[in-house]
C-alpha cells in the first residue's frame, strides 16, 4: 500500500507542480505525519523531492526531474503507445514525433493498427480540416465562429467556446458554450457548414453533470423487421437489443429520444419496418407516410 501511495505522490507532483503536506494528506487519506515520512522515503530512494516553508512553500520535485520509464509495466507501455497511435491518425506531426520517441524509449514497435477517415464519401477534405481546427480550438481554449444548419432548416452564425469532441452513435458532435444562448449546446459536426478559428481565448467554466440517457425523454421503441433487413438491423442496434423470431423476423427494442430525428430514422427503413410500440409513434409515422403519398401523387 505504501509503495503504491509513493508512486501516486510522485505522479501528483509531476502533474500539479507542487502541493502542501495537508493537501497530500487529504488526497491520499493519511495523516500529515505519514506524508512527511513518505517524502523522506522518496528522498532516500533517490527521488529529487524537497519541501519549502513559507507563504508560497510546498512539496516539489526538482524542475528537470523525469520519472524513469522502468516503473511502467510492459502492458502500461503498450497502452500508452496504443493511445498515442489513436491520436496520431489525426495527422498531427508533433504527436507523431512523440510516438516515435516513446517507441524508442520503451524499446517497443508501434503498430499502425488504426485508421480514421473523418471525410464523408465524395468529400474533398473539409471534414478532416474541420476536425483539426476544432481539436486546436478545444486544446488551446480558442473561440470559434460557425455557420450551422439547425434541425429547423435554418442556417445561423454563432460564436461558441468549444469544450469537447464526442463520437456517439456513428456521428461526431461538438459540445460547446454558445455565447448567444449563454448555455451549453451540442452541434453535429456534419451540420457545421463553415468554421473560423478566432483569436479570442476563453476560460473553461464548470457545468452540472449531463443527465444520463435514462433521464432524458427516451421511450422504449419496439420494432419488427423482415429477415431481409438483418444487415441494417445489426448496423443500427446492439445484439443484446435484438431477438430473432422463428420465421426469421427480427424484433429490436431500444430506448430512443423522441423528436424529428426518430421519425426520420424510422422513415429511412421505408416499408421494411413495423412499429410495435409506442402507439403514438405508429400514428405519427402513418401521418408522415400519408404526406409523402400526397406529395408524389402530383
- Asked if residue 20 has pLDDT above 60, the reply is yes
Average pLDDT over residues 224-245: 92
* pLDDT per position as a tens digit, 113-146: 555 666 666 665 667 788 888 888 988 899 999 9
Among residues 35, 84, 45, the alpha carbon closest in space to that of 65 is found at 45
Burial code (b: 16+ CB inside 10 Å, e: under 16) for 38-70 equals bbebbeeeebebeeeeeeeebbbbeeeeeeeee
Q: How far is CA 254 from the centre of its chain?
A: 22
**CA-to-CA separations, 98 to 83, 86, 95, 118, 190, in angstroms, rounded:** 12, 13, 5, 22, 30
Task: Name 109's Cβ contacts closer than 8 Å, sequence gap at least 6.
Answer: 103
Q: How confident is the model at residue 195 (pLDDT cuts 50, 70, 90)?
A: very high
Q: Is 294 exposed, middle or buried (0-12, 13-18, 19+ CB in 10 A)?
A: exposed
pLDDT in the model for residue 85: 55
pLDDT in the model for residue 93: 43
pLDDT in the model for residue 132: 82
Mean pLDDT across the chain, nearest whole number? 80
Phi then psi for residue 226, to 5 deg, are -70, 160
Among residues 240, 147, 131, 150, the alpha carbon closest in space to that of 195 is found at 147
Cβ neighbours of 254 (radius 10 Å): 15
Among residues 209, 295, 229, 221, the alpha carbon closest in space to that of 253 is found at 221
Q: Which residue(s) pair with 19 in the sheet?
A: 59
Better-predicted residue by pLDDT, 168 or 58? 58
**Dihedral sign (CA 121, 123, 128, 133):** negative
Better-predicted residue by pLDDT, 274 or 92? 274
* pLDDT per position as a tens digit, 252-296: 999 988 888 889 899 999 999 999 999 999 999 999 999 999 988
- Asked if residue 221 has pLDDT above 50, the reply is yes
- Asked if residue 96 has pLDDT above 70, the reply is no
Q: Where are the alpha helices (DSSP H) in the chain?
A: 2-16, 21-28, 32-44, 74-88, 93-106, 126-140, 230-236, 260-267, 279-297
Are the C-beta atoms of residues 147 and 130 closer than 8 Å to each other? no
Average pLDDT over residues 234-243: 91
Are the C-beta atoms of residues 48 and 60 closer than 8 Å to each other? no
Omega of the bond prior to 278 within 30 degrees of 0, cis? yes
pLDDT in the model for residue 215: 45
pLDDT in the model for residue 206: 79
Better-predicted residue by pLDDT, 70 or 55? 55
- Asked if residue 71 has pLDDT above 80, the reply is no
E-state strands within 169-207 = 171-178, 183-188, 192-201
Cβ neighbours of 277 (radius 10 Å): 13
Better-predicted residue by pLDDT, 158 or 104? 158
Q: How far is CA 54 from the centre of its chain?
A: 42
Cα(57)–Cα(20) distance, integer angstroms: 8
pLDDT in the model for residue 276: 96
- Asked if residue 60 has pLDDT above 90, the reply is no
pLDDT in the model for residue 279: 93
pLDDT in the model for residue 11: 79
Structure letter (DSSP) for residue 116: -
pLDDT in the model for residue 25: 93
Better-predicted residue by pLDDT, 5 or 78? 5
pLDDT in the model for residue 165: 87
- Asked if residue 45 has pLDDT above 80, the reply is no
Amino acid at each position: 500500500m505504501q509503495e503504491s501511495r509513493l508512486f501516486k505522490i510522485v505522479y501528483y507532483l509531476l502533474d500539479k507542480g507542487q502541493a502542501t503536506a495537508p493537501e497530500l494528506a487529504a488526497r491520499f487519506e493519511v495523516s500529515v505525519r505519514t506524508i512527511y515520512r513518505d517524502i523522506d522515503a522518496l528522498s532516500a530512494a533517490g527521488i529529487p523531492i524537497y519541501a519549502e516553508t513559507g507563504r508560497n512553500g510546498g512539496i516539489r520535485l526538482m524542475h528537470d526531474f523525469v520519472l524513469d520509464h522502468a516503473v511502467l509495466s510492459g502492458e502500461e507501455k503498450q497502452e500508452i503507445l496504443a493511445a498515442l497511435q489513436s491520436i496520431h491518425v489525426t495527422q498531427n506531426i508533433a504527436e507523431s514525433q512523440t510516438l516515435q520517441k516513446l517507441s524508442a524509449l520503451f524499446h517497443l514497435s508501434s503498430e499502425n493498427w488504426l485508421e480514421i477517415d473523418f471525410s464523408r464519401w465524395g468529400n474533398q477534405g473539409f471534414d478532416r480540416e474541420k476536425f483539426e481546427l476544432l481539436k486546436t480550438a478545444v486544446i488551446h481554449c480558442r473561440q470559434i465562429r460557425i455557420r450551422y444548419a439547425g434541425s429547423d432548416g435554418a442556417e445561423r452564425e454563432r460564436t461558441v467556446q468549444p469544450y469537447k469532441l464526442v463520437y456517439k452513435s456513428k456521428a461526431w458532435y461538438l459540445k460547446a458554450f454558445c455565447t448567444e444562448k449563454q448555455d451549453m449546446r451540442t452541434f453535429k459536426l456534419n451540420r457545421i457548414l463553415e468554421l473560423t478559428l478566432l483569436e479570442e481565448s476563453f476560460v473553461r467554466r464548470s457545468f452540472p453533470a449531463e443527465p444520463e440517457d435514462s433521464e432524458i425523454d427516451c421511450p422504449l421503441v419496439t420494432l419488427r423487421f423482415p429477415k431481409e433487413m438483418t444487415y441494417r438491423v445489426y448496423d443500427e442496434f446492439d445484439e443484446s437489443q435484438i431477438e430473432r423470431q422463428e420465421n426469421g423476423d427480427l424484433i429490436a427494442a431500444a430506448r430512443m429520444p423522441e423528436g424529428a430525428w426518430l421519425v426520420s430514422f424510422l422513415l429511412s427503413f421505408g416499408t421494411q419496418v413495423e412499429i410495435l410500440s409506442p402507439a403514438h409513434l405508429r400514428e405519427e409515422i402513418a401521418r408522415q407516410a400519408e404526406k409523402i403519398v400526397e406529395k408524389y401523387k402530383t
